Amino acid sequence: MAPRSCSIANALEIVGERWSLLALREVFFGNTRFDQIVENTGASRDVLAARLKKLVAADVLEKVQYSSQPPRYEYHLTESGRALHNVMLMLKEWGDTYVTEGPLPLVWEHSCGAVLEPRVVCTSCGEEATFDSLHRAPASAAS
Amino acid sequence: MAPRSCSIANALEIVGERWSLLALREVFFGNTRFDQIVENTGASRDVLAARLKKLVAADVLEKVQYSSQPPRYEYHLTESGRALHNVMLMLKEWGDTYVTEGPLPLVWEHSCGAVLEPRVVCTSCGEEATFDSLHRAPASAAS
DNA sequence: CCTCCTGAGTTGTCTTTTCAAACCAACTCC
DNA sequence: GGAGTTGGTTTGAAAAGACAACTCAGGAGG
């Protein structure tokens, strides 16, 4: 039996390997160079080189030259990469709530001044999108 | 140098291994038994057994007995597990938008009738929580 | 000029994981 | 009493990952 085809699986194909999301976290934090990412994630250099290459190939990151003699590159987020911010946000929220013990190592403040408590809502009606408020259907089924 | 301590890393420690999130996806879909999860994810049985054991140990899933002779168990979500729904949602959204080609294999409808377009907002002010609207600070810094 | 240092990887070796298929135990069904 | 179902565990081979050392280029210091 073929496994279920699904965008979650497709997404994990790109960013689901070990270190990929942590590397992206560093880029979100502004640490865009190889050695910075190595330091802050704790990944080994070879694996990180492979992950970055894959993320560039998948158009999540792009290499931007910041020095020509010698050629040196920074990794910047593409539109697709920036869109992963929401995933990070929810992952951080879950970790804060259910995994991390003691004081939180990092706090994200929203521009309104409050410490961010992210909530997922339906763009259409503005109500919260909870597990129970969703109906999951194979795309082929027309309403 | 020690890698950055962070709830994203902590979260990935629990659900970041290959197959963990796909196994959880199946439980969200109501496929709570071992063989169903094997079939629908495509993971090998031994890896899946290890992942489920870990998720149970981390209190994301719990085993619920549904037959006593022989003892048989289903995997149910705990509160912590249900809270991962938001992560799934954002991952699916990202995959739908940037990875999956052609028609989406699966559509989630919100109770309001619309196909769900999830949006992350700040609970406090209701405004969208975008990358640029956040200030990231180490927890030690008091406002 | 010679050596050291930094940045960004690559290479080689060793250890883990993963995969696939078989095996097992305890039933139920026919 | 043989076949099928359920929920795993065991077993090697194959792939992936970890770690340290090496490369290569361009400076900087002496």
| pLDDT tens digit sequence for B72-90 | 899 999 999 999 999 999 9
3-class SS of residue B55: helix
Asked if the structure places residue A61 within a domain, the reply is yes
For tokens 């699986």, what's the residue?
A9
Residues of chain A with pLDDT under 50: 141-143
Asked if the structure places residue B136 within a domain, the reply is yes
Asked if the structure places residue A2 within a domain, the reply is no
Indicate the DSSP class of residue B99.
Answer: I
Residue B143 has pLDDT above 50, yes or no: no
At A140 the pLDDT is 56
Asked if the structure places residue B2 within a domain, the reply is no
Say which residue, B114 or B67, is predicted with more confidence.
Answer: B114
Judge residue B99's burial from the number of C-beta atoms within 10 Å of its C-beta, 0-12 exposed, 13-18 middle, 19 or more buried: buried
Split into its structural domains, chain B has a count of: 1
Say which residue, A1 or B57, is predicted with more confidence.
Answer: B57
Asked if the structure places residue B1 within a domain, the reply is no
At B3 the pLDDT is 83
Q: Which of A17, A18, A36 is closest to A27 using CA atoms?
A: A36
Give residue A28's domain range: 7-142
Stretch B43-57: mean pLDDT: 96
Tokens of B52: 């489920």
Q: Cα B62 to the chain's mean position, in Å?
A: 15
Per cent of chain B over pLDDT 70 is 96
Sign of CA dihedral B98, A60, A77, B129: positive
Burial per residue of B107-131, b for 16 or more beta-carbon CB atoms within 10 angstroms, e otherwise: bbbbeeeeebebbbbbeeeeeebee
CA–C1' B31–C19 (A): 23
Residue B42 has pLDDT above 50, yes or no: yes
3-class SS of residue B104: coil
B129 vs A107, A110, A139: nearest CB: A110
Residue B45 Cβ under 7 A from any strand C atom = yes
* CATH assignment at residue A137: 1.10.10.10
The residue of B20, B99, B109 whose CB has the most chain A CBs within 10 angstroms, and thus the best one to mutate to test that interface, is B99
Per cent of chain B over pLDDT 90 is 83
Asked if the structure places residue A138 within a domain, the reply is yes
Distance from C-alpha of B5 to C-alpha of B23, rounded to nearest angstrom: 27
pLDDT in tens, A16-46: 999 999 999 999 999 999 999 999 999 999 9
Asked if the structure places residue A42 within a domain, the reply is yes
CB distance B87–A91 less than 8 Å? yes
Band of residue B141 on the pLDDT scale cut at 50, 70, 90: very low
What nucleotide is nearest A50 when CA is compared to C1'?
C9
